[in-house]
Amino acid sequence: METAPTRLQQLLAFYADDPNDAFTIYALATEYRASEPLRAMEFYQKLLDEHPDYVGTYYHAGKLLEQLNKAEEAEKVYRKGLQVSRRAGQMHAASELQQALNQFLGLDYEDD
């Protein structure tokens, strides 16, 4: 009896078929984030380079860059994401990015 392919295997097959599909690249980055953060970052970077209008990338790429202690890059990604999401009229994404940037900069004044 054959075992069903894992989600990662399926995504890698989709990626092999169409390495330019932004959603597949994003899904792969998400899939790798917990287990292989550097591999995940490669996929986020591909999105940032080749699909700069894919708004969903910026928040998660920024958070992962923070995790990888790449503060300067994280800040750039948040700021670029803010521009892109506002231009796209995606205000929910923009507000999440603004919160992430504020938190990153130590400007979140919420009471703990």
Distance (Å, rounded) from C-alpha 7 to C-alpha 18?
16
Q: What is the pTM of this model?
A: 0.90
Domain spans, the chain: 7-104
Query: What would the pLDDT profile of 55-98 be if each residue is shown by its tens digit?
Result: 999 999 999 999 999 999 999 999 999 999 999 999 999 999 99
Q: Domain 7-104: which CATH class?
A: mainly alpha
DSSP letters for 7-56: HHHHHHHHHHH-TT-HHHHHHHHHHHTTT-HHHHHHHHHHHHHH-TT-TH
